Amino acid sequence: MKSMVTDYLDEVLEDVRPGDRGAPASYIPELANVDPERFGVSLATIDGKVYGSGDTETEFTIQSIAKPFVYALALEDRGFRDVLKRVSVEPSGEAFNEVSLDEEGRPLNPMINAGALTTHSLVGGDDWTQGQRLQRIIDGLSAFAGRRLQVDERVCGSELDHAHRNLSIAHMLRSYDIFPQDPRVIVEGYTRSCSLLVSTRDLAIMAATLANKGINPITGEKVVSGRVVRQVLSVMTTCGMYDAAGDWVTQVGIPAKSGVAGGLIGALPGQIGVATFSPRLDEHGNSVRGVRLFERMSRDMGIHLMEVPPSVQTVIRNTTVLVQDLTDDEKSQGVKPQKIKVYSIQGSLRFAGAEKIVREFSSTTIKEPAVALDLTDVHALDGVARRMILEVARRLTLDGKRVYLIDPADVIPKPDPGDGGQVIVVQDRAELRAHQPEKRKKGKKGKSAKKGKKK
């Protein structure tokens, strides 16, 4: 079967193609020479499948799309404190090349040129040469793309011949002691990083690496930490589209970054990276067809960040009462079998899902001496949901119940309910039935994860 995803991309590309609004950037003379009709889109999933339509192999310079990735490297190399001291994270509502600083004398954000020149200067260490810094940036961006990226010397030279605005910004930054290096050296390095050649395929993988918490979905390399990615995606959401950021967030609703060569990326955390290429730009310096394509895809594909599927309505699928097995000895001694109330939990749990479980236990009185939470159908749960479930277990222990987790997939590894809580982990209901509680134990037992004070 041919994938409908490819058919869909072919279709939207043709729907969005008509019209010739906008023009390729001309302040970098070499960029004005491109074929304005080039048009392509690539989509990469976080498990490494790449789809595409149109000019997906055509190379163009990355330009400002380098900014979020260089910001990520600066955060990784210097830590948050040092970087935030020099570059703020406030949307500027200004053009990308505005000569501006905030009240504390910092560039407003790392997505405009003033901020990007600064983050460029922060990559690596204080004692690094410019050559080392540039190598780190090329290596870092190549790791995001999963292949070696090269500088387009013609575009780079062409931009440097006319880099008066960036030089003026860099001199201003130097005069405010934002960085200690020679402003001309920083502008040159920054311009080289803007001149790296990429295709939409490369950019989609770079965006998917951001969507995948910093792990390149093709090479498996962890390029930056999850914490850094969260910071970068947040700033892309509010500042990635310059003075069109508000329109973008409402209409498209995913973290994004554009470049003046006509590239545009969007990263949807936990799902996909998307990249488009079309050189005609609007008044903000964003690709006209790229923006239209993303608007259309956002509507069709439901990728707006504010449109999240509701968490599972039924978190507790059902409850049953199981009777524990007795040994022959116990049967002959007339020991009464114990009952266990089993709650089957389902779905992927975050706060709202876990709260449903908490609510159920706070509003019912359980007669049985033992309770089991069956997590067999829980695919994922975040840290908050995990803590809430363990707290339920702890409180049940304090109420005198024996608590089991049926957790074959280890969704709560090494469960520790803490202070006074105790849980017994079993693999399935058969093991649960066969488990011998402490007081009638005869050598056989389940994995007891935490011994707490017995009530």
Q: Which is nearer to ligand GLN, 167 or 326 (CB)?
A: 167
Any binding-site annotation on 176?
no
Any binding-site annotation on 318?
no
Q: Which is nearer to ligand GLN, 24 or 217 (CB)?
A: 24
Q: Which is nearer to ligand GLN, 266 or 347 (CB)?
A: 266
CA distance 346 to 112: 45
Q: Which residues contact 425 (CB under 8 A, 6 or more apart)?
A: 404, 405, 407, 415, 446, 447, 448, 449
List, in sequence order, the alpha helices (H) in 130-199: 130-145, 153-161, 164-175, 183-194
Question: Which amino acid is residue 250, in one-letter code?
Answer: T
Q: Which is nearer to ligand GLN, 101 or 112 (CB)?
A: 112
As given in the structure block, the two tokens for residue 393 are 């277990």
How many CB atoms are located within 10 Å of the residue 76 CB? 18
Q: Which is nearer to ligand GLN, 97 or 324 (CB)?
A: 97
Any binding-site annotation on 199?
no
Any binding-site annotation on 166?
yes
Report the nearest approach of ligand GLN to the CB of residue 403 (Å).
57
Report the nearest approach of ligand GLN to the CB of residue 9 (Å).
24
Burial class of residue 84 in the structure, from the number of CB atoms within 10 Å of its CB (0-12 exposed, 13-18 middle, 19+ buried): middle
Q: Which is nearer to ligand GLN, 5 or 138 (CB)?
A: 138
Report the nearest approach of ligand GLN to the CB of residue 287 (Å).
10
Report the nearest approach of ligand GLN to the CB of residue 191 (Å).
6
Beta-bridge partner residues of 265: 257, 275
CA distance 437 to 191: 69
Q: Which is nearer to ligand GLN, 74 or 406 (CB)?
A: 74
Binding stretches for ligand GLN (CB under 6 A) = 63-64, 96-97, 113, 159, 166, 194, 259-260, 285
Q: Which is nearer to ligand GLN, 60 or 361 (CB)?
A: 60
Report the nearest approach of ligand GLN to the CB of residue 60 (Å).
11
Residue closest to ligand GLN when measured from CB atoms: 64
How many CB atoms are located within 10 Å of the residue 19 CB? 10
Report the nearest approach of ligand GLN to the CB of residue 174 (Å).
17
Q: Which is nearer to ligand GLN, 191 or 346 (CB)?
A: 191
Beta-bridge partner residues of 323: 339
Give the position of tokens 């380098």: 66
How many CB atoms are located within 10 Å of the residue 3 CB? 10
Any binding-site annotation on 355?
no
Q: Give the distance from CA 259 to its chain's centroid.
A: 21
Nearest alpha carbon to residue 451 among 412, 426, 416, 425? 416
Any binding-site annotation on 50?
no
Q: Which residues contact 246 (CB under 8 A, 6 or more apart)?
A: none
Nearest alpha carbon to residue 212 among 203, 201, 224, 200? 224
Question: Which amino acid is residue 297, in one-letter code?
Answer: M
Any binding-site annotation on 249?
no
As given in the structure block, the two tokens for residue 184 are 């001309």
Report the nearest approach of ligand GLN to the CB of residue 197 (Å).
13
How many CB atoms are located within 10 Å of the residue 443 CB? 5
CA distance 214 to 159: 30
Report the nearest approach of ligand GLN to the CB of residue 258 (Å).
7
Burial class of residue 188 in the structure, from the number of CB atoms within 10 Å of its CB (0-12 exposed, 13-18 middle, 19+ buried): buried
Q: Which is nearer to ligand GLN, 262 or 452 (CB)?
A: 262
Report the nearest approach of ligand GLN to the CB of residue 317 (Å).
51
Helix or strand run (H / E) with residue 277: strand 272-277
Report the nearest approach of ligand GLN to the CB of residue 5 (Å).
29
Q: Which residues contact 285 (CB under 8 A, 6 or more apart)?
A: 25, 64, 95, 96, 242, 258, 260
Three-state SS for 99? coil
- Mark the binding-site residues for substrate, compressed into ranges: 64, 113, 159, 166, 190, 242, 260
- Mark the binding-site residues, compressed into ranges: 64, 113, 159, 166, 190, 242, 260
